[in-house]
Amino acid sequence: MNITEELKQNFQQNFSGVDHQLNYVNGDNEIEVAPVDVIPFLRHLKYEQGFDFLMQVAAADYPDRSERFDVVYELFSSKNSRRVRIKTKLKEGETLPTAISLWRGANWFERETYDMFGIRFDGHPSMTRLLTHHQFKGHPLRKDYPADLQQHCTTSLPIHFEDEPDYRPDPNKDLVPLNIGPSHPATHGTLRIMCELDGEKVNRANVEIGYLHRCFEKMAETHPYNQVIPYTDRLNYCSAPMNNVGYCKAVERLLGVEIPPRAQAMRIILCELSRIIDHIVCIGANAVDLGALTGFFHVFTYREKVYTLFEKLCGARLTVSLTRIGGMAQDAPEGWFDDVLQFCKEMKTGIEELDTMLTGNKIWIQRTRDVGKISAEEAIEWGYTGPLLRAAGVSLDLRKAQPYYGYETLDFDIPVGTSGDVYDRYLVRVEEMRQSIKIIEQVCKNIPGGDYTIRDKNIVLPEKKDVYGNIEGLMNHFMLVMKGLRPPVGALYDSTEAANGELGFYLVSDGSANPYRLKVRPPCFAIYQSFPEQVKGGLVADVIAILGSMNLIAGELDR
């Protein structure tokens, strides 16, 4: 949505003497300002223009420029689904003021920018490394850092807190330091939580992440566009197809192509199937942590059924890499859509059984109700999106707010909770599974015909029968492989509604065959930074309940 004209008039009144530039490129509104003006602009956009979400802070490195770094802030308004990006250029060694006073959620995004690029933020409470280990030297996303230069880590950091990096337990107080993870069954992955306990109460807590930092963004810079797709699978590996779709959608928008209706329908089906299995893992694991093992075994039966559907489609179970830029990798086999419909029928009973097992269960309610409560304002402040935000009472779903692939033509509801506690999060997820089935059934019954991919020979590889059957196909294949898919020079931010919330990709192209910069906005990254606040003052047993309800997937958290 082009809002530059509107903003221009507004800025002329408010920022008449301030140097700024408004652009509308690739469908994104971009305001370029000097580093000192970033905070005034952010404040104005937040309080006067209603941009209530800070989606991410990202940076990019241009070693040949005198102003070496770009730092961008993505803002979103939940009132009218508008987006705007603030961009500023920084020299080596220059600093930016922190945006934490405006959005608490800026905290980790700024720390990450420091870790990856060495850009410091003045006034930030803890300008330390976030993703790489503490013995790491240099800043890996700078262009002069080699992608494969490993630096060994020999020790782990002792327990520390944000306000006390050199923590020593006080022998005069009855406070017990407790370390959970990074290898703990209740963390389902590689999360480390450090608590200070007063009896069973959590006095304060801190988290350490980066134990699964697999350098996704650096890998994306060193691989051609289509070869990045398998890496996106491994961001949120519980619902891999959604990441494929999110990434391909961003690249397709930069290329300016629209995929055929059949591909759109297939992507919707895959996304909704993934949403179901993602919620299954989250609910199943959360219940296991609270002692309900039956639920896990029960719902995993249905997860296996979805895997079977994926296997029929492409041969892989978990990491499917099903999409290609321009459409799908291949068409669905005969009868696949009927299988999906059959699964929907079975899944409906599955959800009802799960509902019977947990929703009215006394123990489940006692363990989850009023645990980890969060208000809507706080949730927005932290950058919550997805089921957790909706559980807090904000009806925001990008499938409704900025529909893509024809979600606007489908009939489905957005479940919303009231208190934002673990129980509401569970209820929202269960209802979302029901709505996803509703969506799949509508799409499957009306599956469009036609091709499953566009046939632009500069974007999509020809079919194998053409490659082996005629010279044009062979040359076409050869040219595309050698030259690579080359989007035009430019940058954009594109987002989809993934199972955990807004999955965004900030993509910068310099016209070459590899992305120049690809920054992922992982939904659970913004959510997890609020964790120490959330568990503070609660019981240590509730730490586990809250952790499970956040559905933290280390792959997308640490990338």
Residue ranges that bind another protein, judged by CB under 8 A: 131-133, 136, 140, 145-156, 182-185, 188-190, 210-215, 218-219, 230-231, 233-234, 237-238, 281, 296-297, 300-301, 303-304, 307, 317-319, 554-555
Helices (H), 293-334: 293-314
Whether residue 241 contacts residue 270, with contact meaning beta carbons closer than 8 Å, is answered with yes
CB 555 to another protein: min, Å: 6
* CB nearer another protein, residue 103 or residue 525: 525
* CB nearer another protein, residue 224 or residue 490: 224
* CB nearer another protein, residue 96 or residue 212: 212
Whether residue 212 contacts residue 557, with contact meaning beta carbons closer than 8 Å, is answered with yes
* CB nearer another protein, residue 30 or residue 217: 217
- Tell me 156's DSSP state: -
CB 288 to another protein: min, Å: 10
453: three-class secondary structure by DSSP: strand
CA atoms within 13 A on the CB side of 23: 14
- Tell me 331's DSSP state: P
CB 187 to another protein: min, Å: 10
* CB nearer another protein, residue 139 or residue 521: 139
Listed residue (181, 195, 283) closest to 549, CA to CA: 283
CB 357 to another protein: min, Å: 15
CB 198 to another protein: min, Å: 26
**Distance (Å, whole) CA 50 – CA 84:** 11
* CB nearer another protein, residue 276 or residue 427: 276
**Distance (Å, whole) CA 452 – CA 439:** 20
DSSP string, 176-211: EEEEE-SS-GGGSSS-EEEEEEETTEEEEEEEE--T
* CB nearer another protein, residue 149 or residue 471: 149
- Per the listing, tokens 């703990």 go with 184
* CB nearer another protein, residue 62 or residue 145: 145
Omega of the bond leading into 532 within 30 degrees of 0 (cis): no
**Distance (Å, whole) CA 183 – CA 177:** 17
Listed residue (153, 185, 165, 360) closest to 285, CA to CA: 185
**Distance (Å, whole) CA 213 – CA 210:** 5
**Distance (Å, whole) CA 487 – CA 253:** 10
* CB nearer another protein, residue 24 or residue 145: 145
CB 310 to another protein: min, Å: 12
CB 558 to another protein: min, Å: 8
366: three-class secondary structure by DSSP: helix
**Distance (Å, whole) CA 157 – CA 173:** 23
- Tell me 161's DSSP state: B
Residue 96 makes CB contacts below 8 A (sequence gap 6+) with 35, 38, 71, 88, 90, 119, 120, 121, 122
* CB nearer another protein, residue 343 or residue 452: 343
- Per the listing, tokens 């809002």 go with 3
**Distance (Å, whole) CA 415 – CA 431:** 6
**Distance (Å, whole) CA 166 – CA 172:** 17
CB 399 to another protein: min, Å: 25
CB 189 to another protein: min, Å: 6
To 5 degrees, how large is the angle CA 215–CA 216–CA 217? 95
Q: Which amino acid, one-letter code, is at 30?
A: E
* DSSP H or E stretch at residue 79: none
CB 311 to another protein: min, Å: 9
* CB nearer another protein, residue 147 or residue 489: 147
Written as six digits, the tokens of 64 are 């040949």
* CB nearer another protein, residue 487 or residue 555: 555
